Amino acid sequence: MSENQSPFAKKLTKREYEAEVAKTRDERMKWFADAKFGMFVHYGPYAVAGMHEWYLALSASSNEQYEREVTQKFHPKKGCAYEWAKLASEAGCKYMVMVTRHHDGYSMWDSDCNPYNVVKYGHDYDVVAEFVDACRKYNMRIGLYHSIIDWHYPDCGESARDFDARVRFIKYHRDMLTELLTRYGKIDMLWYDMCYPFTGENLDFVATNSLVRTLQPDIIINPRSGLEEDIDTPEEHLNPNGKQKYWEACMTFNGLSWGYVDSEEVAGYSYTPQRIIKMMAETADRNGNLLLNIGPAPDGSVPADAVKPLRTVGEWLKVNGAAIYGASKPLDMWVPNGRTTLKKNNMLYVIQLITPVLGYLPVNGVGAPVKKVRCLTDGKEYQFTQEGTKLTILDVAHGHVDKIAGVTVFEITCGEPFGKFQRAVPPALAATLREEV
Ligand code: GLC
C-alpha cells in the first residue's frame, strides 16, 4: 500500500482514527497473540547511577548534574544488543522491546532532531541500529519504546502553558518517530510510555499515530499515548483491564527497578525460573503476553541475575512450549496449583506447579469429551476418567516429573462437541463462593 492510499493519510477525528485502527486489528495482532513471551530492555545513562531509571527525577538532580555524573560516564560497549537478543532467544522469547529514549531524554540512536544522543555524546555506536539487527539475527519481532515526556527537552515542561512550545514539542515527537520508523526497516511494535500530564488529545496523537501507521502499516501500538490502540499494558501485575482483547503484562525482573541495579545486591528480589513460568502460565491462561524486563549494566552487558533463570525458562519451553505459545482463549477453569491454556486445535494444557499427593490430578471445567492425556514432560500417556466437565488424570506421582524447573505439563486432546471450559462448583458450595474467587 502506498503512503497516500493508507486510510491514515487523511486527517481523522479521534473517533474515526480509533474505528479505523479497530478494523484491521485482528489481522495485525496475529503474531503477538501467538508470541506470549517477550523481553523488555531498559538501557540508557541511568544504568550508571544503578538505582532506578527515574534517577534524575527521584534524586532531584538538575540536568547539568545528571549529564556530568551520569551521562558523561555512560559508555555502551558495541555488541551488547546481540547479547540481549541471544539471551532472549535462549529464553524462548518471540519479541523484544527496547527503550530508545527514556524520560531522561537521551536517544539511543544517531538522531538529527535530538542532539542529546549516544552518537553526538561521543560514541560511534547507534544502539538502536544494532538492536534491530540483533532482533533480525535471532528471529525476534522488533518493538521500540518511546517516552512521551522528556525531562531534557525544554519545550516539554513549557508545553503545559505555552502553545508555541507545545507545537514544537509535538513536532519533536513526530521527527524522532519518523527517524525511528524510516531508518531501520520494518518495526513491529511502538511502545509509548508516559503521556501524563498531557493527553492524547492535547498532544494531537491522532495525527502522530496516523503518521506512524502510514510509515509502518502493520505496526502494533500500545495505548500509552492516550488513544485506544491495539493492546492493554498492565504494569507490574498480571491483570488485564478487561476492555482490550489483546494485552501484555510488563514486569521488572526484581520488583524494584526497570533500569540496572547491582545484580548481586538485587539477586534476592529477582525472579526464579519457576516464578517466571508461573507468570507466563498465568498471562497465557488469560490470553495475554508476558513482557519481562532486563536492565543491562552500564556497559550494556546482561545483568547476571537474569541469565540463569532465563536460560532455564528457555530449556523448559523447548519441552513444554506447546502449552504456552499460541494459546488462543481466556479460560476460567480450576486446577489446584495449576494453570490451563487452550489451543485452537482443541488441545488443552494443564501446567502443574505442584504435583498431588493423592495419586491423581483433578482438572475442573473441561468442556469437551477427552480423547487422550499425554504428559509433555515425560512423553507418556496417562489414564483418566471423566464425569461431565470433571476430568481426573490417574496415577500421577507426587514429586516433580519435570527436572528442568519442576513444572509438569499435561496435554489433553479434546473431541467434539466442544462446549464451555468453565469451572464447575458443587451446588452446595456455589452460594458460599464469590464469583471472582
Ligand atoms: C513506567 C515508568 C518507567 C518504565 C515503564 C515501563 O511508566 O515511568 O520508568 O519505563 O513504566 O512500563
Q: What is the pLDDT of residues 283-339, one digit of tens each?
A: 999 999 999 999 999 999 999 999 999 999 999 999 999 999 999 888 888 899 999
Nearest atom, ligand 1, residue 145 CA: 10
Query: DSSP character for 293?
Result: E
Closest Cα to residue 82, out of 38, 133, 44? 133
323 contacts: CB under 8 Å, gap ≥ 6? 281, 284, 341, 349, 351, 376, 409, 411
> Quick check: 376 pLDDT over 70?
yes
Residue 328 lies in a domain: no
**One domain, residues 404 and 261:** no
127 CA to centre of ligand 1 in angstroms: 20
**One domain, residues 62 and 193:** yes
Question: Is the Cα torsion angle 402, 404, 405, 409 positive or negative in sign?
Answer: negative
**One domain, residues 197 and 343:** no
**One domain, residues 199 and 88:** yes
Residue 288 lies in a domain: yes
> Quick check: 436 pLDDT over 70?
no
**Cross-strand bridge partners of residue 143:** 97, 189
C-alpha cell at 23: 478494523
236 CA to centre of ligand 1 in angstroms: 10
Burial of 375 per CB tally in 10 Å (0-12, 13-18, 19+) = buried
What is the count of structural domains for the chain?
Answer: 2
Residue 48 lies in a domain: yes
**One domain, residues 89 and 24:** yes
Query: DSSP character for 301?
Result: P
- What is d(CA 357, CA 405) in angstroms, rounded to the nearest whole number? 19
| Percent of the chain topping pLDDT 90 | 86
Residue 189 lies in a domain: yes
Mean of pLDDT over the chain: 94
- What is d(CA 300, CA 151) in angstroms, rounded to the nearest whole number? 23
Residue 12 lies in a domain: yes
103 CA to centre of ligand 1 in angstroms: 9
**One domain, residues 84 and 205:** yes
pLDDT given for residue 331 in this prediction: 87
Write the CATH number for 154.
3.20.20.80
Average pLDDT of span 180-188: 98
- What is d(CA 396, CA 381) in angstroms, rounded to the nearest whole number? 11
**One domain, residues 282 and 347:** no
Pairing status of strand 189-193 against strand 289-294: unpaired
> Quick check: 21 pLDDT over 90?
yes
pLDDT given for residue 1 in this prediction: 54
Residue 179 lies in a domain: yes
**One domain, residues 158 and 183:** yes
pLDDT given for residue 435 in this prediction: 55
**One domain, residues 53 and 105:** yes
Expressed as residue numbers, the domain containing 396 is 338-430
Average pLDDT of span 266-275: 96
pLDDT tier, 437 (very low <50, low <70, confident <90, very high otherwise): very low
**One domain, residues 142 and 88:** yes
Does 54 sit in the ligand 1 pocket, CB within 6 Å? Answer: yes
pLDDT tier, 345 (very low <50, low <70, confident <90, very high otherwise): confident
Residue 168 lies in a domain: yes
- What is d(CA 226, CA 18) in angstroms, rounded to the nearest whole number? 11
83 contacts: CB under 8 Å, gap ≥ 6? 300, 301, 302
Write the CATH number for 365.
2.60.40.1180
**118-127 per-position pLDDT tens digit:** 999 999 999 9
- What is d(CA 313, CA 93) in angstroms, rounded to the nearest whole number? 10
> For the whole model, what pTM was predicted?
0.96
Last residue of a domain, one of 283, 300, 323: 323
Using CA positions, which residue lies closest to atom 10 of ligand 1?
258
383 CA to centre of ligand 1 in angstroms: 48
**One domain, residues 182 and 219:** yes
Residue 437 lies in a domain: no
**One domain, residues 80 and 158:** yes
Question: Is the Cα torsion angle 418, 424, 427, 431 positive or negative in sign?
Answer: negative
Which mutation among 100, 258, 289, 291 tests ligand 1's pocket best, with the greatest number of atoms within 8 A of CB? Answer: 258
> Quick check: 2 pLDDT over 60?
no
